[in-house]
Amino acid sequence: MLGALLVYPVYQLGLISLFRYTQAQVSGGEPAVFRGFGNYADLFADGEFWRVLLATVVFAAACVGSTLAVGCALAVLLTRIRAVPRLALMLAALGAWATPAVTGSTVWLFLFDPDFGPVNRVFGLGDHSWTYGRYSAFLLVLLEVVWCSFPFVMVTVYAGIRAVPAEVLEAAALDGASHWRIWRSVLAPMLRPILTVVTIQSVIWDFKVFTQIYVMTNGGGIAGQNLVLNVYAYQQAFASSRYGLGSAIGVVMLLLLLAVTLVYLRLLRRQGEEL
Amino acid sequence: MKLSASRASLATLLTLAVATACAPQSSSNSASDRDDTSGTLRVWLFQEVGNEPKKKVVDSVVAAFEKTHRDTEVKVEYIPVETRAQRVKAAFNDPASAPDVIEYGNTDTAGYVHDGGLLDVTKEFSAWPEAKSTDPTARQSVTVDGKVYGAPFYVGVRALYYRTDVFKDLGLKPPRSLAELATTARAVRAARPDLYGLAVGGAYTYGAMPFVWADGGDLADGRSGSYAAAIDSPAARKGIKAYTSLFTDANCPAAKCAGMTGNDTVTAFAAGKAGMAIGGDFSHAAVEAGKVKGKYAVVPLPGVADGSVAPAFAGGNNIGVLKSTRHRTLAVDLMERLAGKKTQSALFDAMGFLPTFTDVRTRAAEREPFVKPFVRTLAAGTKFVPASAAWSQIDSSQVLPTMFQEVVSGKKSVDAAAGDAAAKMNAAFGDAG
């Protein structure tokens, strides 16, 4: 049952990606034509695709790195502060987590609005536009992505740290280890399974980021400079009704994510960790 | 996750692929051969902002129709404009629950015909006496490959809105040519730095195209089935240069204006943040509701020569019959009533929709002076997008906004951006004809 639910959509995706399949074919205006790997050939010959793929990989890597750093740092912080501030931080994080992506993006965009946004006013930036430059627009989206995804990392890692026996940490502290040293040599190795899960989760999540880019850069930014793979696939598949080409992008994304996950698991296994 | 598990699922996938190796699904959307003379007809119209007056007019048309054709019932549904694409696609995919008559945007005509959704009504349209005074651009917007696929419902056209109070203070006059438009815009901005001179948008295709058309350029050359992009012709490049040169700190800073859409520019004007803007007759209500009420006027967007009018894009909507209808005769009759002269005249009074019949339009302009500049723009000649299914693809993959934004943001020269846009357009034309 589970297998069928998982496999059938993937099978359909793969099948459609081999056909010339646009709205005309869906609604029966023209027969579906088998193109073999024609859609993939078109895709790989398109310079835009490679540019978008590169941007997606770099952007996702930056997002994963920042999310993990912020999430882990705050998780450690949570274990060191008193109950009231801890509760406040927890609530703030859960609020960010619970905010729907569209709402979060819109609010974030408003904060940085050139005309009405408080950020420009506080920092005295005049009417500086954050979404105009390619990197500043990506940075803005990155901040939003980190903001809405660090709580998951923080809560999970915090739960992991609480499960670490207190004596171990105490022993390390008595030996004179710094905070950084404790994290590096004691906590991180003990939390490895948890960190693995949140990393893979974040990779998959950030690689597939759609809403934030779509809302905050108005569907891909000035001249498409902020396109990521998922928004690009949406443009090709649904906006332009080229479902065959869109499916091909979907298959490429699926394979990439599968490869990343497998390589990551393989690396871990080589280090002698069984999950 | 175990490796063996993914291997097993891969094996299952392959088995499935072999077992059911066949084409993905298509629905059969062949024309229905039934022509029932009674029963229920379903109609989809667009839900407008403030839809009530439209509904009243449509209700009276429906009442008259049901009176003539006993034993029929008409169910009208108002669908949101934003999600129309999904709704119409779904209707094409599932003929059993599709409506008989639909309203659709005129840039979608060729795409819908290509998808196999619209009924060819050439015979009925030419036999329809009222069709004789349909204006030629409106007729072109329902025509694909010489066949007619619906009746024009209303036209939308853009002109130049300007602030009468600002112009009076600064001693400026409405521009009479595109060159004068640029100098006037800079003069406004220089005297009033809190205003954009002319609000322009990098994503405002239909506000930019008049500049291209005024210089003698065009989107594409050729006829249906054999279009070739012309956006990189010398004339078109001149127009692109004229439009993109307005994105400077002396008029509308690129950092803010490159990302703006048509709605954004109209909103800026309505909020009193621009000296001029290119807006449609359909933007009238939004501007009236804004801060600038009573402080603006409209003139046709000037062309290259002094006192000329730049060709505007003839937007608007049509009424069509779906191929899958089981009430062909009735549905065509309902289409003619909904898009007829009487209805269009009533809809103009109720909603301000500009009629597609030249005689009805002239009379409408006499009743309501506001539309005069728009009627003049229409009379001066309008342009339309290529009647090709490729157009919806070009439109939705943002080919033209990307081109304008590349130039505005300094990423590419006019020649390079126009060349790239032309290549993308030609690829789309090659796909769809």
Q: Which two tokens stand for residue B45?
A: 């119209």
**Does A30 reside within a domain?**
yes
At residue A271, the pLDDT reads 63
In B173-259, which residue ranges form alpha helices assigned H by DSSP?
178-191, 205-214, 234-244, 254-257
> Domain span at residue B264?
158-312+389-432
pLDDT confidence band for B24 (50 / 70 / 90)? low
- Give backbone dihedrals phi and psi of B376, rounded to 5 degrees, phi first: -65, -40
**Cα gap A47→B312, rounded to integer Å:** 34
Are residues B183 and B272 both part of a single domain? yes
Sequential DSSP letters for chain A: -HHHHHHHHHHHHHHHTTEE-BHHHHTTSS--EE-TTHHHHHHHH-HHHHHHHHHHHHHHHHHHHHHHHHHHHHHHHHHHS-HHHHHHHHHHHHHHHHS-HHHHHHHHHHHT-TTT-HHHHHHT-TT--TTTSHHHHHHHHHHHHHHHHHHHHHHHHHHHHHHS-HHHHHHHHHTT--HHHHIIIIIHHHTHHHHHHHHHHHHHHHHT--HHHHHHTTTTSGGGTT--HHHHHHIIIIIS-BHHHHHHHHHHHHHHHHHHHHHHHHHHHHTT---
Mean pLDDT, chain B, rounded, equals 88
**Does A41 reside within a domain?**
yes
CA angle B175, B176, B177 (to 5 degrees): 100
Q: Which two tokens stand for residue B417?
A: 């951006």
Q: Which residues of B touch A30 (CB under 8 A)?
A: 116
**Does A236 reside within a domain?**
no
Are residues A69 and A174 both part of a single domain? yes
Are residues B274 and B404 both part of a single domain? yes
Q: Which is nearest to B332 in space by CA: B154, B71, B65?
A: B65
CB B65 within 8 A of CB B101: no
Are residues B150 and B270 both part of a single domain? no
pLDDT digit string, tens, across residues A69-127? 999 999 999 988 899 999 999 999 999 999 998 999 999 989 998 877 888 888 888 77
Interchain pair B255, A25: CB under 8 A: no
At residue B419, the pLDDT reads 95
User: Which one-letter amino acid corresponds to residue B192?
Assistant: R
Q: Which two tokens stand for residue B35?
A: 């022509």
**Does B194 reside within a domain?**
yes
Q: Which two tokens stand for residue A184?
A: 């590096």
**Does A231 reside within a domain?**
no
In chain B, DSSP finds a helix count (H) and a strand count (E) of: 20, 15
pLDDT digit string, tens, across residues A188-199? 888 888 888 889
Instruction: Work out the average pLDDT over A172-177.
Output: 88
Three-state SS for B302? Answer: strand
At residue B369, the pLDDT reads 86
Q: Is B140 on the interface with A (CB under 8 A)?
A: no
**Cα gap A57→B203, rounded to integer Å:** 27
Q: Which two tokens stand for residue B362?
A: 């002239």
**Does B307 reside within a domain?**
yes
Instruction: Work out the average pLDDT over B28-41.
Output: 75
* CATH number of the domain that residue A213 is part of: 1.10.3720.10
Q: Is B415 on the interface with A (CB under 8 A)?
A: no
Are residues A205 and A74 both part of a single domain? yes
Instruction: Work out the average pLDDT over A156-185.
Output: 89
CB A14 within 8 A of CB A249: no
Per the model's pLDDT, the better-predicted residue between A246 and B433 turns out to be A246
**Does B18 reside within a domain?**
no
Are residues A39 and A59 both part of a single domain? no
At residue B22, the pLDDT reads 56
**Does A10 reside within a domain?**
no
**Does B68 reside within a domain?**
yes
pLDDT confidence band for A236 (50 / 70 / 90)? confident
Are residues B80 and B111 both part of a single domain? yes
**Cα gap B415→B236, rounded to integer Å:** 10
- In the block, tokens 């065009």 appear at B218
- How far apart, in Å, are the Cα atoms of B37 and each of A142, B275, B330? 60, 57, 7
Q: Is B19 on the interface with A (CB under 8 A)?
A: no
Instruction: Work out the average pLDDT over B171-176.
Output: 95
Q: Is A263 on the interface with B (CB under 8 A)?
A: no
Are residues B378 and B396 both part of a single domain? no
Other C-beta atoms lying within 10 Å of the C-beta of residue A91: 10
Interchain pair B256, A6: CB under 8 A: no
Express as a percent the part of chain B with pLDDT over 90: 61
At residue A105, the pLDDT reads 92
Does A41 have pLDDT greater than 70? yes
Query: What is the number of residues in chain A?
Result: 275
Express as a percent the part of chain A with pLDDT over 90: 37
Q: Which is nearest to B253 in space by CA: A129, A221, A224, A119?
A: A129
Are residues A79 and A100 both part of a single domain? yes
pLDDT confidence band for B422 (50 / 70 / 90)? very high
Q: Which of residues 115-174 of A touch B (CB under 8 A)?
A: 127-129, 131-132
Q: Which residues of B touch A32 (CB under 8 A)?
A: 23-24, 26
Q: Is B97 on the interface with A (CB under 8 A)?
A: no
Does A163 have pLDDT greater than 80? yes
Are residues B336 and B294 both part of a single domain? no
Pick from B26, B202, B405: which is nearest to A32 by CB? B26
Q: Which residues of A touch B115 (CB under 8 A)?
A: 23-24, 27, 29
At residue A24, the pLDDT reads 75
Does A42 have pLDDT greater than 70? yes
At residue B25, the pLDDT reads 67
pLDDT confidence band for B26 (50 / 70 / 90)? low
Are residues B255 and B288 both part of a single domain? yes
**Does B29 reside within a domain?**
no
- How far apart, in Å, are the Cα atoms of B353 and each of B205, B281, B365? 22, 8, 11
Instruction: Work out the average pLDDT over A245-251.
Output: 91
- Give backbone dihedrals phi and psi of B277, rounded to 5 degrees, phi first: -155, 155
**Does A6 reside within a domain?**
no
pLDDT digit string, tens, across residues B215-274? 999 999 987 668 899 999 999 999 999 999 999 999 999 998 998 988 889 989 999 999
At residue B18, the pLDDT reads 41
Are residues A96 and A176 both part of a single domain? yes
Burial of B194 (0-12, 13-18, 19+ CB in 10 A): exposed
**Does A258 reside within a domain?**
yes
pLDDT digit string, tens, across residues A112-162? 988 778 888 888 887 788 888 899 999 999 999 999 999 999 999 999 999
Three-state SS for B143? Answer: strand
Q: Is A19 on the interface with B (CB under 8 A)?
A: yes
Does B102 have pLDDT greater than 90? yes
Pick from B17, B23, B116: which is nearest to A24 by CB? B116
Structural element, H or E, at residue B139:
helix B136-140
Are residues A93 and A197 both part of a single domain? yes
DSSP β-ladder status, A19-20 and A33-34: antiparallel
Are residues B266 and B170 both part of a single domain? yes
- Give backbone dihedrals phi and psi of B104, rounded to 5 degrees, phi first: -145, 155
Number of domains in chain B: 2
**Cα gap B198→B245, rounded to integer Å:** 12
**Cα gap B116→B314, rounded to integer Å:** 24
Does A217 have pLDDT greater than 50? yes
At residue A223, the pLDDT reads 84
Q: Which of residues 343-372 of B touch A (CB under 8 A)?
A: none
* CATH number of the domain that residue B76 is part of: 3.40.190.10
Does B37 have pLDDT greater than 60? yes
pLDDT digit string, tens, across residues B269-322? 999 999 999 999 888 888 888 899 999 999 999 999 999 999 999 889 999 999
Does A253 have pLDDT greater than 50? yes
Instruction: Work out the average pLDDT over A32-44.
Output: 85
Are residues B363 and B403 both part of a single domain? no
Are residues A22 and A120 both part of a single domain? no
Does B14 have pLDDT greater than 90? no
Are residues A24 and A107 both part of a single domain? no
Give Dmax over CA atoms of chain A in angstroms: 76
Interchain pair A131, B259: CB under 8 A: yes
**Does B3 reside within a domain?**
no
Q: Which of residues 200-219 of A touch B (CB under 8 A)?
A: 218-219
Are residues A203 and A273 both part of a single domain? no
- How far apart, in Å, are the Cα atoms of B242 and each of A262, B85, B171, B388? 53, 33, 25, 27
Q: Is B5 on the interface with A (CB under 8 A)?
A: no
Q: Which is nearest to A139 in space by CA: A215, A59, A209?
A: A59
- In the block, tokens 């536009």 appear at A129
Other C-beta atoms lying within 10 Å of the C-beta of residue A122: 9
Q: Which residues of A touch B26 (CB under 8 A)?
A: 25-28, 31-32
**Cα gap B223→B133, rounded to integer Å:** 24
Mutation choice for B interface testing from A27, A130, A265, A268 by most B CBs within 10 A:
A27
**Does A232 reside within a domain?**
no
Are residues A210 and A250 both part of a single domain? no
**Does B32 reside within a domain?**
no
Interchain pair A132, B393: CB under 8 A: no
Q: Which residues of A touch B30 (CB under 8 A)?
A: 28
At residue B16, the pLDDT reads 44
CB A264 within 8 A of CB A200: yes
Q: Which residues of A235-274 are buried (b: 16+ CB within 10 A; e: fewer)?
A: bbbbbbbbbbbbbbbbbbbeeeeeebbeeebeeeeeeeee
Are residues A90 and A134 both part of a single domain? yes
Are residues B103 and B196 both part of a single domain? no
Are residues B403 and B303 both part of a single domain? yes
Structural element, H or E, at residue B39:
strand B39-47
> Domain span at residue A149?
53-226
**Does B226 reside within a domain?**
yes
Does B3 have pLDDT greater than 50? no
Are residues A180 and A218 both part of a single domain? yes
Interchain pair B393, A114: CB under 8 A: no
Are residues B170 and B251 both part of a single domain? yes
